[in-house]
Amino acid sequence: MWIDTIDLPDTTEASALTSQLVAIDSINPSLVEGGAGEREIAGFVAKWLAGRGLDVEIQDTVLAGRPNVIAMARGHGGGPSLRRI
């Protein structure tokens, strides 16, 4: 079968990260009364990204208690940086 001849990426890290993310209670409090919200998962994601060398910022400006994680991978060539939100 042709699939046997391709090098598939190692999914160990992605699987571990997915397991950690789904274990964090991040239920949207505007959908479920008493939901934990996203603060804990935002902190986890920020720490994970920072541990991989990205510049990370947590903003709580759109909705109070509903943080956004912003990460930037700085380049080396002097051109514009790429920012993912």
- List the pLDDT tens digit at each of the 85 positions of the chain: 445 556 666 788 889 999 999 999 999 988 999 999 999 999 999 999 999 999 999 998 877 778 999 998 877 777 776 665 5
2 found inside a domain: no
Domain count, the chain: 1
pLDDT at 63: 78
Is residue 26 included in any domain, yes or no? yes
Let me know if residue 51 belongs to a domain: yes
Element of type H or E holding 20: helix 12-23
Give residue 1's pLDDT: 46
> Under a CB-based contact definition with an 8 Å cutoff, are residues 72 and 43 in contact?
no
Structure confidence at residue 69 (pLDDT): 94
Any residues with CB less than 8 A from the CB of 85 and at least 6 apart, and which?
A: 68, 69, 70
Reported pTM: 0.76
| Tokens standing for residue 53 | 């060398």
State the residue range of the domain holding 43. Answer: 12-84
Residue 6 counted as domain residue: no
What pLDDT is attached to residue 75?
Answer: 74
Evaluate whether residue 19 is within a structural domain: yes
Query: Is residue 50 domain-resident?
Result: yes
In a domain, 1, yes or no: no
